[in-house]
Every structure is written in structure tokens, then in C-alpha cells.
Structure 1
Amino acid sequence: MTRGEHGISREDVSPNALKVMYRLNGAGFESYLVGGCVRDILMGHEPKDFDVATNATPEQIKGLFRNCRLIGRRFRLAHIVFGREVIEVATFRGHHSEEPEAKEVPKNKAVSKRDAHGQLVRDNVFGSIEEDAERRDFTFNAMYYSVADFTVKDFANGLEAIEKREVRLIGDPEVRYREDPVRMLRAVRFATKLSMRISDDTAAPIKQLASLLNNIPAARLFEETLKLFLSGQGEKTFLMLREYGLIAPLFPQLAPFIEDENSREMQFVRKVLQNTDERINNDQRVTPAFLYAALLWYPLEERAQIMQAESGLSAHDAFNLASTEVIAKQTQRIMIPKRFSTVIRDIWILQQRLPKRFGRRAFQLLTHPKFRAGYDFLLVRGQVEGGALLELAQWWTHFQHGEPGKQKKMLNDLRRQEGDGPKPRKRKRRPASRNTDA
């Protein structure tokens, strides 16, 4: 496509990405903007980042840029750092030659390697731009913009997919999912992000192959779930993941609780995701800890009840032990960094402490560093479950914003209503000292 046909201007492109392409071209290499940035510009969206593809090897790229670092094991990439912006540069990938058979392969020739499930575990195979396009995942990600002649090369009818609003894999879907099971998550993410549908042939194998996500490193799945749920389309994404059977491999403890569309657990998760989407779309801060605390709350409640019934532990001890167990099981599937797991625990513990409001406890809880997160969590629980839980959440809503006199009155009223609140301890009177002056 010529510039007149695609309408992409250099003004749409990051100046740092242009610098990278100009330097690669000046050194005699081919270079192109590729993937999501080209797709987003053609769709009228502002790209979040700009990726470049080239026929230069990672070592040749590093030789041209002092601000370059090489990353990756499965496939080597170059990250060229401009302050906070990172331009990712990838060498054109070639077709898999797999492990050498009878004929001898030179030591410097790269080969790919798959595991028993067909997943690529090594993929440093370089090739031509045509081969690279065939190796891309979705058709709308196989479009290449050249700053040398301002054309767009569309190798897989990506523009047609955009016009049809269709997410379609390049090649055989089952083979492509086996190569990298995360593509199933990406298909869902693109469908919700771009308001598209997943084509029938691309969607067909997902349920059958969902369990392959168990082979993905937990650290990588943490990054992928952030993209899924913190995009401003978290609720829609969650519902589509559920539709395609992708919740169980990500959150196995939650899956049994959301089989019923109308269950309180399902309504709770949806409400939290709705609130998260609203905050993100209003440019307000969110923390993954709150979302994970919600996704694991009902599994925690059930596990604590079982542990208390089976072992005779106190409610407090059972809750703490269950918290540790639930987080440990989840981190086997999705790594949760300690900076978030600590906050998850704080939110959960506050659910146990917020009902205890007598004396100075209410004022002490207001000073807790995670009070706001704990209160917000309680409020959503109350909105879903109603009853005494909602009354408790409403009490805290009024108390935290009340004047000191009003707060004192609320506590006095609460003591009278409850009738069984902690009574003030009676002071023991000291016996009167005897007068020894007789």
C-alpha cells in the first residue's frame, strides 16, 4: 500500500522509533514499524509503543546503538532505551528448521526447539521479511511500515481483518496455539480491546487447548493477566475468558465458584472489574492487589471455614492459615510479587477487623495505611451480599467522613444498639489506708 492508500504519516510515529529506523537504514539494513503500532494507527488509535523489525542480527543492532541491551532466551530481542521510552527491535524470524537430522548443521546456524506439547522453547531462527510475516500471530499484526518509501506491506490481509473487525490467526490455529499457548489469551484481549470477534476457526481449538497454559511460566502469566484486566475492558475480558474456558488454568481455585452466571461470587467479581474499568478509564490509579484479593476472596472464605471445622482452629487462626494456602496455590499458576501479596493480605485482614468498632478500634482502623482499600473491598461485598454486611459498609461510609462529635455519637449509638459490645472495665478501688496516728 502506498502512502495515499494507507494514510500513515511520520507524525503518527514516535520520533525515537524514526531515529532507530533511519540509523538501521543508513547502515544498509532494512527496517520497518511492525505489529500493533501499525494496526493501531490504521484504526485511528494512539499506539502505546512502537516495535521495529529488521534484517540486522541482535549483535549488529547492538553495534549501532550504545543505548541498546539484548534480552530474551527463546528469541533474542534488542531494547533501545530513550529515557522512559523503549523501542523494541526484532530480527526477522525464519521458518523452524527444528533439530538437525542426518545432515550436519554448522555450529553458527540457529535451530528452533519444541517441547513435548509443541511449544517453542528456543526460536532464534532468522529469515526474510516474508518468513517473518508468516511467523506473526494475528493477521492484523503482519503489516510493515517502511520509512524508506512510506509504504505498508500487508502480507496476511490484515487490513481486511480490520475492516471485518475479526481476530484471525495466521496459519493453523492448533499448531500456533501449541507453539505459544499465550496466543489464546492474546486473541481474547485483542477481541475486547479492539471491539472485534474471534473468527470461528481461530476460536474453535481454544477450549480443548486451554490446559496448555499450565506450561507457561508463572511470571509471564502475571504480566499477561495485567494486560487482560487492567486495560479498561476488564469485565468484558473476564466474561470472554470464561466463555472460552480460560479462567480455570489461570485461577483454578476461583473456577468452581463462577460456574453459575448468577452466583454471588460471579456478581462480586464483575462488580470489582466494573469499578476497576471505571477507575482506569477516568485515569485513576488501580492496584493489581485489589483485583487479586477479589478473585481469591471466596476461595479463601471457603477454605477458612473448612479448616476451622476440620481442625478445631479458632476463626482467626483458620483465616490466617487459609490466606497463606490460597496465595501459595495461586502463585503456582500466576506469580504474585510480594509487594502485591502483602497488600492482598492487608485487605483480607481488614475484612475481619472492620466489624470490630468499639472503643478506640474504629479510630485506629481509620489510620491503617490500607484502610481505604479494605473499606472499598467491604463496600463491594456489601453491595453484592446486602444485609448486615451492607449496613456495616454504610456505617463506615458515614463514620470516616463524620465530624468528631458525630463519630462519637455513632459509637455511642452503636454500643446501645448492639447491647453486647465490650463493657468498660471497672477500676478496682484501692483499700483506704489506715490512719496509724492514734
Structure 2
Amino acid sequence: MSHDARTTVTPALRIIPREQHVISRKNISKAALRVLYRLNEAGYQAYLVGGAVRDLLLGGHPKDFDVATNATPEEVKKLFRNCRLIGRRFRLAHVVYGPEIIEVATFRGTGEEEGEGDRHIVDGRIVRDNVWGTIEEDAIRRDFRVNALYYDISDFSVRDYVGGVKDVEDRVLHLIGDPATRYREDPVRMLRAVRLAAKLNFRIDAAAAKPFGELGPLLADAAPARLFDESLKLFLAGHGLKSFHMLEQTGLLKFMFPATARALKRGDQALRELIERGLANTDARVLEGKSVTPAFLFAVLLWGEVRDLAHTWITKGVESSAAWERAATRVVAEQCQRVAIPRRFTLTMEEIWALQPRFEQVQRKRVFRLMTHPRFRAAFDFLLLRAAESPAISELGQWWDHAQQLPHETLAAALSGHTPPGPVSAEPAASTKPRRRRRRKPAGKAGGQSDPA
């Protein structure tokens, strides 16, 4: 933190004794307790810190437990055989108990400026920082006041240096120090503010939200791979719809998903409905403990721009499948400059989009071929989300839903011009050419990933 930002924060310790807070050791992982006790018994200060303390005070059940200590990473490693040191930018100790990793960080200091000790700052951004300090310095180095709370294993009290307990009670997010300076140090803090507010149902303090418009463009300097990780935390953790609305309200959406922001700006109500339903369905799946995939979600977010580009090229005479392919390639390339979506996900996204026009081809041969496509299930779920686009799309979704429930022979007969397979307005083109030859029976439903819908 720069000297100016630091001088605006004077730590003032408030100790909340065990009988005045709700944190119980039975809600702390056994692995975290073992780390805390061993450090404490070896003569070091050891505290549970950050999000776990905040969530425990709110009555939640944290999945991750971080520890802060005055032991250096090397001293931590000597105490734990199951410890490995990681990171150059921020040196940390990871103590591993089976599938659980307890992250142990040494108190960060503020006392040294750039060039002294192991700290390196470029254009206001901290690119390396291994300057050790006191717990007071560590507290004012953290991002939000609610994340600067320490649970003391020696007497089970909570130590609060910056007013984090009051913020937990008031359900508000304040940054520690000057907001603009803190965002310049790490622009991703703006996304963290949105994500925390959505997750905790907190509001962002006005002073903390004010610089978003001016400093939002700095997100372009963040590593695209890091923004991919942040987008998963925003959208795939059970509070995606709220996160999306907050990104829009704060004006940060256009810096993360420019194509989405552009398409919504055109006033496309059907697209908004598609995105909101997609996110709500994803949230529901997360709460039910079902699997979710980034591919489906990114396909939802970027659909408006892909569809509009494809239609533009088709009206200019480009062949349909080529137009869709070109539109998908362009939109994915632009998005990956901001958020590095791995290839295994972009391939699935492109397939989901490419299959959408094929749902309109209800000739017998094409229907059965589409049903055996490995991405059929995900693409069909996507088609159902598109119901608001037009009555025809809504009917098409019902048609395919009904078609999948019919026995193979019944569907084959219906597509040969006998009985229509369900509520579909247009007569299938194949009905004029009934087929007599029996076809080999394909698998009725594709075993593709069943994604949120």
C-alpha cells in the first residue's frame, strides 16, 4: 500500500471475547485447528483470518480456512512435514491434510517502500510483496474491513483492528484505506467487492463503489487467466444472478464481457431473459449440489452477439453454417482477450451455438442424427432457455421435448408424415417423402452433459 493510503488508516484494536461472539471450534475444520494449535504451542502467534472468520460470524460454514502467523514460511515448513512453500508474488505455506489445504500466510508489513525488502510495485500495482510485519500492519494491508478479522486460538477471542465486526453487523463493505489507491494496486479488488456483496447480501459502501467507472478499464491489465478464475467465482458459486446484476449496476460488466454489455445495450429483452434464466438455473443447480460447467454459462452470456453477427452475415449471403462458425470465432476471440476461457470450454460453447439452427430442421434423418450428437442435451437445454425469443422458438422447444419422449418407431412414423410428434406449427419437410426402409435405431437421448437448464 502506498504511504498516502496507509496514513489514512490507524489500527485500533477491539477484542471481542468468546462469550460475545458466535464462533465455535466445532465449525472450524480439524485440519485448521491442528495448524493453529501447533503454531501456538511452538510459541508463535496463530490466527484464523479473513473470509472464514467473517462467514463464521454470519453463521455460515466456510469451505476454506486461512491462517495468519508471525512465523515465516520457512519456520512453518519446519513445523509441518506435510507443508510446501508456494508463490513468488506472495510467498505462502500450504499445509496439506488429505484433500484439505490450509493456507498459512506470514503477517505482511507496510513499513518498507518499493525497492526495500522484497517488494516490487509497477504503475501502482503490487507485483511482488514479501515484506513481513506485525498483525496490526497485516490488518491494514487487507482489502475489506470484513476480511481483516482474526480469531485467536489462544483465548478464542476475535481481534478487530479496523472496524470489521461493525461492518459485518451493518452488512456493508468498506475498503481499508483509499479506494482508488487500493484498486490501482490490484484492479481485481473491484470484482471481489461485487462478488462479496452478492454472496453475503451486503451493500458496497458508496466511497468503495465510486471509482469503478474511472478505474474499471484497469481490469484490462489483469491477467486474463485470473479473470477467468474470478468469473467462475462470480457465476458458478450459487449467487451468479445477483453477481450479474451487480456487475451491471456498477458498470463493470462492459470491462469483463464487452459483447454481453453491447448486446444488452441494444435493448434485447429476450436476451436479458435468457441470461437471467440461465444464471438462475445455474444457481439452483449449485444449491442442489449438481454439476455445472463454465461452457454452458459462457454460451449463455455471449449468445446475443453471436446470434446477431451470424444473422447479419446470413443476410449478406454467407452460407448459414459458415456464418455461425465465423460469428462464434470472432466473439470467442474477443472475449478471450479479457477472460481466458480454456479451449475445452470454448469448443463446447461453439458446438452449443452451432446446433441451434439445426433444431429448426425437423426432417427425419436430421432429427435422429442431432439426437445422437454428444452435445445434444446441452444444446437442447439452451434451446429451452431461448423460449422468450419468439413463439416459434418456444414451440420448437416443446416439439423437441415431446419428440424425445416418443418411442423411436413412433417418432420415425410421425416424421414419415403420419402423426405429428407434438405441438409444432410447421409441417416437417420430410413428410412429403415417406421412407419405407427401416433405419438402425440410434441411442434415443444423447449422453452429453446435462447442463443448467
Q: 1:123 aligns with which of 121, 129, 146?
A: 129
Match of 2:97 among 82, 86, 102: 82
Taking a change above 3 Å as real, the CA distance of residues 17 and 404 of structure 1, as seen in their structure-2 partners, is same
Q: Structure 2 vs 1, CA of residues 423 and 283 (structure 1 numbering), >3 Å: closer, same or farther? A: same
SS of the residue 1:162 aligns to: helix
- Is contact 1:137–1:169 with CA below 8 Å preserved after alignment? yes
Work out the CA distance in 1 between the residues paired with 2:381 and 2:55.
35
Give yes or no for contact 1:260–1:266 (8 Å, CA) kept in 2.
Answer: no
Q: Does 1:177 align with 2:183?
A: yes
Matched, 1:418 2:427: yes
- Letter of the aligned partner of 2:248 in structure 1? R
SS for the counterpart of 1:347 is: helix
Deviation at 1:420, TM superposition (A): 4.1
Matched, 1:362 2:367: yes
- Report the counterpart of residue 95 of structure 1 in structure 2: 110
The answer as to 2:29 corresponding to 1:14 is: yes
Against the structure 1 CA distance between its residues 158 and 424, is the aligned structure 2 distance closer, same or farther, given a 3 Å change threshold?
same
Q: Show the 5 A alignment for 1:22-421.
A: 22-95=37-110, 97-100=112-115, 109-110=117-118, 112-116=119-123, 118-259=124-265, 263-308=269-314, 312-382=317-387, 384-411=388-415, 412=417, 413=419, 418=427, 420-421=429-430
Question: Percent of aligned positions with the same letter in both sequences?
Answer: 49
Q: TM-score, normalised by structure 1?
A: 0.90
Kept after mapping to 1: 8 A contact 2:58/2:168: yes
* Aligned partners of 1:399 and 1:410 also within 8 Å: no
1:369-400 deviations in whole A, cap 9, x for unaligned?
22111101001112x11321111110001011
Distance 1:13 1:261, change over 3 A: farther
Gaps of 5+ in 1: 428-438
Amino acid at match of 1:151: S
CA–CA separation in structure 2 for the residues paired with 1:145 and 1:176: 25
Q: Does the 8 A contact of 2:236 with 2:282 survive in 1?
A: yes
Provide the rounded CA distance (Å) in 1 between the counterparts of 2:391 and 2:268: 18
Q: Secondary structure at the match of 2:127?
A: strand
- Work out the CA distance in 1 between the residues paired with 2:221 and 2:95: 30
**Structure 1 residue 26, shift from structure 2 partner:** 2.5
1:261, distance to aligned residue in structure 2 (A): 6.2
Deviates further, 267-276 or 209-218? 267-276
Q: Distance in 2 between matches of 1:245 and 1:292?
A: 19
Aligned-pair distance for 1:262? 6.1
For the residue of structure 2 that corresponds to 1:254, the secondary structure is helix
SS of 2:347's equivalent?
helix
Q: Does the CA-based 8 Å contact 2:277-2:385 persist in structure 1? A: yes
Distance in 2, matches of 1:262 and 1:358, equals 31
Does the Cα contact within 8 Å between 1:257 and 1:266 map onto a contact in 2? no
Q: CA deviation at 1:134?
A: 0.3
Is 2:144–2:174's contact at 8 Å kept on the other side of the alignment?
Answer: yes
Please state whether the residue corresponding to 2:364 is helix, strand or coil.
coil
Q: Which moved more, 1:344-353 or 1:153-162?
A: 344-353
Secondary structure, counterpart of 1:418 in structure 2: coil
Q: Name the CA shift for 1:426/1:223 in 2 (closer, same or farther; >3 Å).
A: closer
Distance 1:251 1:122 in 2: 28
Deviations 1:402-435 (A, max 9, x none): 22343234323459953744864999xxxxxxxx
Q: Secondary structure at the match of 2:258?
A: coil
Aligned 8 A contact 1:50 1:88 in 2: yes
Quick one: distance in 1 between partners of 2:227 and 2:88? 17
Moved more, 232-241 or 130-139: 232-241
CA contact (8 A) 2:253 2:261 kept: yes
CA distance in structure 2 between the aligned counterparts of 1:96 and 1:337, rounded to whole angstroms: 40
- The answer to whether the 8 A contact 1:75-1:124 is kept is yes
What CA distance in whole angstroms lies between the structure 2 residues aligned with 1:96 and 1:209? 27
What is the CA–CA distance in structure 2 between the aligned matches of 1:194 and 1:168, rounded to whole Å? 14
Asked whether the 8 Å contact 2:364–2:412 carries over to 1, the reply is no
> Which amino acid in the other structure matches residue 328 of structure 1?
A
Shift of 1:283: 2.0
Higher relative contact order (CA 8 A, sep 6+): 2
| Runs of 5+ consecutive residues of structure 2 not aligned to the other structure | 1-15, 437-453
Going from structure 1 to structure 2, the CA distance change for 1:348 and 1:404 (only over 3 Å counts) comes to same
For 1:78 and 1:323, how far apart are their aligned partners in 2?
42
Cross-structure match for 1:435: none
AA matched with 1:59: E
Match of 2:444 in 1: none
In the alignment, the residues of structure 1 paired with residue 312 and residue 268 of structure 2 have an alpha-carbon distance, to the nearest angstrom, of 24
Q: Which amino acid aligns with 2:50?
A: G
**Structure 2: which amino acid aligns with 1:376?**
D
- Tell me how large the CA RMSD over aligned residues is: 2.2
278-287 or 141-150, larger mean C-alpha shift: 278-287
Aligned CA distance change for structure 1 residues 426 and 81 (closer, same or farther; 3 Å): closer
SS at match of 1:170: coil
Q: Which amino acid aligns with 1:335?
A: A
Match of 2:13 in 1: none
What TM-score do the two structures reach when normalised by structure 2?
A: 0.87
